[in-house]
Amino acid sequence: MKSESYEKKIDVSKIRDSFNIILMGDSSVGKTSILERYCNDIFKTEKKSKKTIEIFKKKVTFLDNSYQLKFWDTPNIMNNCNKSEKKMLSNCDGIIYVCSYDNSDSLKHINTWYQFLTQYIDLSTKEMILLINKKDLKEGEGKAITEEQIDKKSKDLQLEYYEISAKTGENVFDGIKIIIDKLIERCNDRSRGSNSDSINEQEKGGCNII
């Protein structure tokens, strides 16, 4: 179900803050489908293999404040991380790790993606979440991951997780809302700190205050 506060039409001139969020995970786990569902509320049955980064944008409201979200869909970045992509990683505010119920390796590889990012990012300064896609799969339809395995991964990496389905839309909006809420809370905390100290400067690694 969509969150109404995240679906209002927004006056771009009133946007205060912006967040960069990257999606990391194996190919075919549904990263693009998740973003197409969240940003455009569509699901494409035909998929094309991508070799370049694709950017999805969405403007949302929360408690009467407006925010601009920029999502980075990152195929093959582990094998070819160039200078501009390294800059993108270092400038991100949040990270969404993605695996899928029909691919047990995709859950195992979350550790690999996590370690890859530590080369370029201080993960302690970022908000992170794990999304498990293809929740719509039933028993006997290729489900290859158990809840016990997900719980263990979540505890090992200290990641909050959400089970979603890009195909049906189930939990997609609520799942992504978790990381957005965390980013907004961090941004507001920093804004209050800046105001109390009479500091007027652009915050780094959390929000851009206009």
Predicted pLDDT of residue 191: 66
Predicted pLDDT of residue 177: 94
Q: What is the pLDDT along the chain (210 residues), one digit of tens a residue?
A: 333 344 444 444 444 589 999 999 999 999 999 999 999 999 998 777 777 889 999 998 877 788 999 999 988 788 778 888 899 999 999 999 999 999 999 999 999 999 999 999 999 999 999 999 999 998 788 899 999 999 999 999 999 999 999 999 999 999 999 999 999 888 877 666 554 443 333 333 344 333
What CATH number should be reported for the domain whose range is 4-196? 3.40.50.300
Predicted pLDDT of residue 207: 40
DSSP labels, the chain: ---GGGSS---GGGEEEEEEEEEE--TTSSHHHHHHHHHH----SS-----S-EEEEEEEEETTEEEEEEEEE-TTTTT---HHHHHHHHT-SEEEEEEETTBHHHHHTHHHHHHHHTTT--GGGSEEEEEEE-TTPPTTTT----HHHHHHHHHHHT--EEE--TTT-TTHHHHHHHHHHHHHHHHHHHHHHHHHTT-----SSS----
Predicted pLDDT of residue 100: 97
